[in-house]
Amino acid sequence: MAGQRYLYDLADGDASMKPLLGGKGAGVAQMMKLGVPVPDGFTVTTAACVDAMSDGGAWPDGLWEETLAALSRLEERTGRGLGDPERPLLVSVRSGAVVSMPGMMDTILNLGIGDATVEALGREAGDPRFAWDSYRRFLQMYGEVVEGVPAHAYEDALTAMKRGRGVTEDTGLSTDDLRELVEVFKIVSRTHIGADLPEDPKEALRRAIDAVFRSWLNPRAGVYRRANGIADDLGTAVNVMQMVFGNRGDTSATGVCFTRNPATGARELYGEFLLNAQGEDVVAGIRTPRPLAEMEVVLPEAYGQLLEVMGTLEAHYRDMQDIEFTVEDEKLYLLQTRDGKRTAAAALKVARDLVEEGVLSREEALARIEPGQLDQLLHPALDPAHGQQPATRGLAASPGAAVGEVVFDSDTAERRGKAGDAVVLVRWETTPDDIAGTLVAQGVLTAHGGMTSHAAVVARGMGKPCVAGASDIASDAEASTLTIGDLTLTEGDAITLDGSTGEVFAGALALVPPQINEDFAVVVGWADDVRRLGVRANADNGPDAAKAREFGAEGIGLCRTEHMFMEQDRLPAVRRMILASDDAERANALEEILPMQQADFEAILEAMSGLPVTIRLLDPPLHEFLPSLVDQALEVQRLELAGDTHPTDLRHARALLAQIKKLTEQNPMLGTRGVRLALLYPEIPQMQVRAIARAALAVADRGGDPQVEIMVPLVAYAEELRRMRTLIAQTLEAEFAAAGRRLEVPIGTMIELPRAAVVADQIAEHADFFSFGTNDLTQTGVGISRDDAEGAFLSAYLDEGVVPDNPFVSIDVDGVGGLVEIGVQRGRSSKPDLKLGVCGEHGGDPASIAVFERLGLDYVSCSPFRVPIARFAAAQAVLV
Q: Which run of H or of E encompasses 177?
A: helix 175-193
* Binding partner of residue 107 among Mg ion, ligand ADP, none, CB cut-off 5 to 8 Å per kind: ligand ADP
Segment lying near Mg ion (by CB under 5 A), choices 175-183, 302-310, 776-784, 846-854: 776-784
Residue number, nearest CB to ligand ADP: 279
x/- track of binding to Mg ion for residues 731-760 (CB under 5 A): ---------------------x--------
Cα separation, 108 vs 141, whole angstroms: 6
Backbone dihedral angles phi then psi of residue 450, each to the nearest 5 degrees: -105, -165
Segment lying near Mg ion (by CB under 5 A), choices 72-80, 295-303, 385-393, 772-780: 772-780
Query: Partners of 322 in the beta sheet?
Result: 258, 338
Query: Smallest gap, in angstroms, from Cβ of residue 776 to Mg ion?
Result: 4
Query: Smallest gap, in angstroms, from Cβ of residue 274 to ligand ADP?
Result: 10
Query: Smallest gap, in angstroms, from Cβ of residue 306 to Mg ion?
Result: 16
DSSP code of residue 669: G
**How far from 668 is each of 175, 665, 673, CA to CA, in Å?**
76, 5, 8
Cα separation, 450 vs 448, whole angstroms: 7
Between 635 and 845, CB nearer to Mg ion: 845
Between 60 and 262, CB nearer to ligand ADP: 262
Residue number, nearest CB to Mg ion: 776
Cα separation, 743 vs 764, whole angstroms: 22
Cα separation, 423 vs 429, whole angstroms: 17
**How far from 554 is each of 89, 378, 802, 834, CA to CA, in Å?**
64, 18, 38, 18
* Binding partner of residue 343 among Mg ion, ligand ADP, none, CB cut-off 5 to 8 Å per kind: none
Catalytic site includes residue 839 = yes
* Binding partner of residue 686 among ligand ADP, Mg ion, none, CB cut-off 5 to 8 Å per kind: none
Contact indicator for 732, 797 with CB cutoff of 8 Å: no
* Binding partner of residue 279 among Mg ion, ligand ADP, none, CB cut-off 5 to 8 Å per kind: ligand ADP
Between 137 and 352, CB nearer to Mg ion: 137
Query: Smallest gap, in angstroms, from Cβ of residue 710 to ligand ADP?
Result: 56
Query: Smallest gap, in angstroms, from Cβ of residue 104 to ligand ADP?
Result: 8
Between 335 and 530, CB nearer to ligand ADP: 335
Among the listed residues 766, 839, 842, 862, the single catalytic one is 839
Segment lying near Mg ion (by CB under 5 A), choices 257-265, 289-297, 303-311, 323-331: 323-331
Between 602 and 845, CB nearer to Mg ion: 845
* Binding partner of residue 244 among ligand ADP, Mg ion, none, CB cut-off 5 to 8 Å per kind: ligand ADP
Write out 556-569 in H/E/C secondary structure.
EEEECCHHHHHCCC
Query: Smallest gap, in angstroms, from Cβ of residue 840 to Mg ion?
Result: 7
Segment lying near Mg ion (by CB under 5 A), choices 47-55, 58-66, 124-132, 328-336: 328-336
Q: Which run of H or of E encompasses 798?
A: helix 793-800
Mutual angle of helices 647-663 and 571-579, in 10-degree steps: 70
* Binding partner of residue 60 among ligand ADP, Mg ion, none, CB cut-off 5 to 8 Å per kind: none
* Binding partner of residue 241 among Mg ion, ligand ADP, none, CB cut-off 5 to 8 Å per kind: ligand ADP
* CA angle centred on 677, ends 718 and 727, rounded to 5°: 60
* Binding partner of residue 398 among Mg ion, ligand ADP, none, CB cut-off 5 to 8 Å per kind: none
Contact indicator for 773, 751 with CB cutoff of 8 Å: yes
* Binding partner of residue 773 among Mg ion, ligand ADP, none, CB cut-off 5 to 8 Å per kind: Mg ion
Is 461 an interacting residue with respect to Mg ion (CB under 5 A)?
Answer: no
Q: Which of 469, 542, 620, 773 binds Mg ion (CB under 5 A)?
A: 773
Is 336 an interacting residue with respect to Mg ion (CB under 5 A)?
Answer: yes
Between 134 and 778, CB nearer to ligand ADP: 134
Query: Smallest gap, in angstroms, from Cβ of residue 313 to ligand ADP?
Result: 16
* Binding partner of residue 844 among ligand ADP, Mg ion, none, CB cut-off 5 to 8 Å per kind: none
Task: Give the chain's largest Cα–Cα span.
Answer: 104
Cα separation, 284 vs 34, whole angstroms: 29
Neighbours of 833 (CB within 10 A): 7
Closest CA to 506 of 413, 426, 441: 426
Segment lying near Mg ion (by CB under 5 A), choices 251-259, 728-736, 773-781, 864-872: 773-781
The site for ligand ADP (CB under 6 A) is made up of 39, 92, 94-95, 103, 107, 109, 241-244, 254, 279-280, 283, 324, 326, 335-336
Backbone dihedral angles phi then psi of residue 680, each to the nearest 5 degrees: -75, -40
Between 333 and 770, CB nearer to ligand ADP: 333
Between 94 and 826, CB nearer to Mg ion: 94
Closest CA to 201 of 136, 113, 272: 113
Query: Smallest gap, in angstroms, from Cβ of residue 459 to ligand ADP?
Result: 16
Closest CA to 484 of 492, 493, 473: 473
Buried b (16+ CB within 10 A) or exposed e, 762-783: bbbebbbbbbbbbbbbbbbbbe
Could you tell me which residues come within 8 angstroms of residue 178 by beta carbon, excluding any fewer than 6 positions away?
Answer: 129, 132, 133, 135, 136
Between 109 and 402, CB nearer to ligand ADP: 109
Query: Smallest gap, in angstroms, from Cβ of residue 428 to ligand ADP?
Result: 20
* Binding partner of residue 12 among ligand ADP, Mg ion, none, CB cut-off 5 to 8 Å per kind: none
Between 94 and 866, CB nearer to ligand ADP: 94
Query: Smallest gap, in angstroms, from Cβ of residue 22 to ligand ADP?
Result: 10
3-state secondary structure of 284: coil
Query: Smallest gap, in angstroms, from Cβ of residue 185 to ligand ADP?
Result: 19
Applying the rule CB under 5 A, the residues between 477 and 516 that interact with Mg ion are none
Between 279 and 781, CB nearer to ligand ADP: 279
Could you tell me which residues come within 8 angstroms of residue 457 by beta carbon, excluding any fewer than 6 positions away?
Answer: 102, 103, 341
Query: Smallest gap, in angstroms, from Cβ of residue 626 to Mg ion?
Result: 20
Cα separation, 57 vs 43, whole angstroms: 18
Cα separation, 71 vs 77, whole angstroms: 10
Among the listed residues 454, 623, 766, 842, the single catalytic one is 454
Cα separation, 560 vs 842, whole angstroms: 17
Strand bridging mode 331-339 / 401-407? unpaired
Q: Give, rounded to a whole angstrom, the gap between the first and last alpha carbons of the chain.
A: 32
* Binding partner of residue 776 among Mg ion, ligand ADP, none, CB cut-off 5 to 8 Å per kind: Mg ion
Q: Which of 544, 600, 768, 776 binds Mg ion (CB under 5 A)?
A: 776
Question: What strands lie across the sheet with 473-476, from one edge to the other?
Answer: 473-476, 481-484, 487-490
Buried b (16+ CB within 10 A) or exposed e, 243-281: bbbbbbbeebbbbbbbbbbbbbbebebbbbbbbbbbbbb
Query: Smallest gap, in angstroms, from Cβ of residue 713 to Mg ion?
Result: 6
Segment lying near Mg ion (by CB under 5 A), choices 51-59, 561-569, 766-774, 806-814: 766-774
Contact indicator for 747, 705 with CB cutoff of 8 Å: no
Residues lying near Mg ion in the complex (CB under 5 A) are found at: 324, 336, 752, 773, 776
Catalytic residues: 454, 839
